[in-house]
């Protein structure tokens, strides 16, 4: 799920700590929403919503329909600005690789979104359907239910979900640190390789000059 | 400095400059948030009424200046522009109440002060002119254009995506006779003769969260109000 480069959403960004848009970004997004609101109802119906997401992201049609169903929690066939804002934040968190941070910071709203049946618990198959939103792999999802389903009912309540988000953010921080270390090591190796290459060139030059001087003599 | 750059740099470097300009804009957005952390919502959202709609459709972003032109402007020219805009605002504010006028005058004088302060710092921060114009309660101008073009494209795609019922033209006169719409399974807006979205039919039972099955069908036609005709590139409905 990627935002198309050069689109309006591409110019927005999330605050890295709180995973929210700035006030200026929200104002811009509000203007954008009102422009899209062709019916002047302060809402977007499913057709407008579909074409908006299809134009701005590379999401599959099936996923777009699923997202609309998820956001249309009043079952009116249209979504308001609150839901639109939530969606944009999720999409931008995906774009900026802040999915786990977003889930941690906004665990309650995310939990309510994934709680499709309204039972204050997240079902395994339901989470499986929407894992693409937060870039969660199948194996990670299985491990999640194995490690964090403390009650053993194959459902996640809010506390278990919150624990999972805390664990994921720490894991993602560790991953980033490791990536940085690997990049630094690669740069050091590149630097060493360059030095070796220059020394080799110097040797070649010096031997070449010596041979010339001998031939002249 | 920016003028010399624009003349001397060849085309392939311009492309890199454009991409770097985009990156600069994103970085500039982030610095903007640090400085505007204490802004009140009411001050920023003064253009919205209680229902959240934009008050006064007269565009504040009528001047379309590109990023490159902005960079080439001198600080004195930017200050002149700001003064022109203030005069325009004063002209609009004459129509309002005098109590509101006083508030506007105060805000305008504060704005003039801000612009005079910014003009001094502008000379030091020439590369960030786009940021300072954006600071004057404006969106980056190219972004506004981009937003409108994108919305136009989306709405035109939505308009073209659905086709009317195949027997629409044959049976339209029956509709005028008031024979009912249930046979053709869509509603009709009699004033503009455009079919309405099926998803808004009130007789369908509402979906409850407990019983949701997640069907997610996208049905229906798009009903466009007269306001959207402006965005449909002159197409008649």
Q: pLDDT at residue B173 above 60?
A: no
Give, as one character, the DSSP assignment of residue B54: B
How many Å apart are CA B105 and CA B214, to the nearest integer?
Answer: 55
A32 touches chain B (CB under 8 A): yes
Provide the pLDDT for residue A43: 93
A36 close to A52: Cβ distance less than 8 angstroms: yes
Largest pairwise CA distance in chain A? 97
How many Å apart are CA A141 and CA A123, to the nearest integer?
Answer: 11
Give, as one character, the DSSP assignment of residue A40: S
B231 and A38 in contact by Cβ < 8 A? yes
Burial of A101: CB neighbours in 10 Å, binned 0-12, 13-18, 19+: buried
How many Å apart are CA B172 and CA A50, to the nearest integer?
Answer: 29
Q: What is the mean pLDDT of residues B110-124?
A: 48
A11 and B30 in contact by Cβ < 8 A? no
Residues in chain B: 237
A38 and B218 in contact by Cβ < 8 A? no
Ordered structural domains, chain A, with CATH: 8-178 (1.10.238.10)
| Residues B200, B201, B204, B205, Cα dihedral to 10° | 50
A38 and B197 in contact by Cβ < 8 A? no
Note the pLDDT tens digit of each residue in A12-40.
888 888 888 888 889 889 999 999 998 89
Nearest-CA residue of chain B relative to A119?
B210
Give, as one character, the DSSP assignment of residue A123: E
Tell me the whole-structure pTM to 2 decimals.
Answer: 0.51
A24 and B36 in contact by Cβ < 8 A? yes
Nearest-CA residue of chain A relative to B25?
A11
Residue B220 with chain A: CB contacts under 8 Å: 45-47
A65 and B217 in contact by Cβ < 8 A? yes
Residues in chain A: 217
How many Å apart are CA A211 and CA A115, to the nearest integer?
Answer: 80
A28 touches chain B (CB under 8 A): yes
Q: Which of A77-86, A111-120, B32-41 has the lowest mean pLDDT?
A: B32-41
Find, among B89, B231, B52, the residue nearest to A29 by Cα: B52
The shortest C-alpha distance from B142 to chain A (Å) reads: 10
Q: How many CA atoms lie within 13 A of A18 on its CB side?
A: 6
Q: Which of B136, B150, B207 to mutate to test the interface with A (most CBs of A within 10 A)?
A: B150
The yes/no answer to whether this complex scores an ipTM above 0.90 is: no
A7 close to A56: Cβ distance less than 8 angstroms: yes
Residue A36 with chain B: CB contacts under 8 Å: 151, 154-155
A97 touches chain B (CB under 8 A): no
What is residue B217's three-state secondary structure?
Answer: coil
Provide the pLDDT for residue B93: 52
Q: pLDDT at residue A128 above 50?
A: yes
How many Å apart are CA A51 and CA A55, to the nearest integer?
Answer: 6
Q: What is the mean pLDDT of residues A169-190?
A: 84
The shortest C-alpha distance from A136 to chain B (Å) reads: 21
Higher pLDDT, A50 or A145: A50
Residues 6+ apart with CB under 8 A from B153: A55
Chain A segment 108-137 residues within 8 A of B by beta carbon are 116-119, 129
Vertex B24, ends B36 and A58: CA angle to 5°? Answer: 100
Provide the pLDDT for residue B85: 55
Nearest-CA residue of chain B relative to A77?
B199
CA pseudo-torsion sign B22, B27, B31, B37: positive
Note the pLDDT tens digit of each residue in A64-101.
999 999 999 888 899 999 999 999 999 999 888 888 88
Q: pLDDT at residue A143 above 70?
A: yes
How many Å apart are CA A68 and CA A78, to the nearest integer?
Answer: 8
Average pLDDT, chain B: 50
Give B130's pLDDT tier (boundaries 50, 70, 90). Answer: low
First to last CA, chain A: 71
Provide the pLDDT for residue B206: 45
A81 touches chain B (CB under 8 A): yes
The shortest C-alpha distance from B129 to chain A (Å) reads: 18
Q: pLDDT at residue B6 above 50?
A: no
Provide the pLDDT for residue A126: 85
A205 touches chain B (CB under 8 A): no
Residue B228 with chain A: CB contacts under 8 Å: 38
The shortest C-alpha distance from B237 to chain A (Å) reads: 14
Give B136's pLDDT tier (boundaries 50, 70, 90). Answer: low
């Amino acid at each position: 799920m990627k935002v198309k480069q050069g689109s309006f959403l591409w110019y927005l960004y999330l605050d890295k700590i709180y995973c929210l848009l700035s006030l200026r970004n929200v104002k811009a997004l509000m203007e954008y929403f009102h422009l899209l609101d062709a019916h002047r109802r302060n809402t977007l119906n499913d057709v407008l919503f579909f074409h908006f997401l299809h134009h701005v992201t590379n999401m599959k049609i099936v996923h777009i329909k699923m997202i609309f169903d998820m956001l249309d929690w009043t079952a009116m066939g249209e979504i308001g600005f609150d839901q639109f804002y939530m969606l944009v934040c999720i999409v931008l968190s995906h774009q900026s690789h802040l999915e786990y941070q977003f889930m941690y910071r906004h665990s309650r709203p995310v939990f309510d979104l994934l709680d499709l049946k309204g039972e204050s618990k997240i079902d395994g198959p339901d989470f499986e359907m929407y894992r693409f939103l937060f870039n969660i792999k199948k194996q990670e999802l299985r491990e999640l239910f194995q490690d964090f389903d403390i009650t053993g009912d194959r459902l996640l309540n809010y506390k278990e979900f919150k624990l999972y988000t805390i664990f994921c953010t720490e894991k993602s921080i560790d991953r980033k640190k490791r990536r940085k270390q690997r990049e630094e090591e690669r740069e050091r190796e590149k630097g060493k390789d360059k030095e070796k290459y220059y020394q080799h060139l110097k040797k070649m030059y010096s031997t070449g000059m010596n041979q010339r001087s001998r031939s002249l003599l | 400095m920016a003028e010399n750059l624009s003349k001397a740099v060849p085309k392939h470097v311009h492309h890199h400059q454009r991409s770097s300009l985009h990156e600069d804009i994103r970085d500039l957005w982030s610095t903007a948030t640090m400085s505007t952390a204490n802004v009140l919502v009411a001050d920023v959202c003064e253009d919205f009424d209680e229902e959240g709609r934009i008050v006064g459709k007269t565009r504040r972003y009528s001047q379309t200046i590109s990023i490159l032109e902005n960079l080439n402007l001198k600080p004195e020219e930017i200050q002149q522009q700001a003064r022109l805009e203030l005069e325009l605002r004063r002209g609009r504010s004459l129509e309002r109440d005098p109590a509101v006028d006083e508030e506007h005058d105060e805000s305008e004088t504060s704005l003039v002060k801000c612009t005079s302060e910014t003009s001094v710092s502008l000379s030091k921060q020439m590369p960030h002119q786009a940021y300072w114009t954006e600071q004057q309660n404006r969106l980056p101008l190219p972004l506004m254009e981009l937003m409108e073009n994108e919305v136009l494209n989306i709405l035109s795609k939505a308009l073209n995506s659905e086709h009317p019922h195949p027997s629409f033209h044959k049976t339209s006169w029956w509709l005028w006779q008031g024979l009912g719409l249930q046979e053709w399974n869509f509603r009709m807006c009699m004033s503009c003769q455009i079919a309405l979205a099926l998803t808004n039919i009130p007789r369908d039972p509402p979906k409850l969260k407990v019983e949701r099955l997640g069907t997610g069908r996208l049905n229906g036609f798009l009903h466009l109000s007269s306001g959207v005709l402006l965005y449909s590139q002159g197409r008649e409905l």
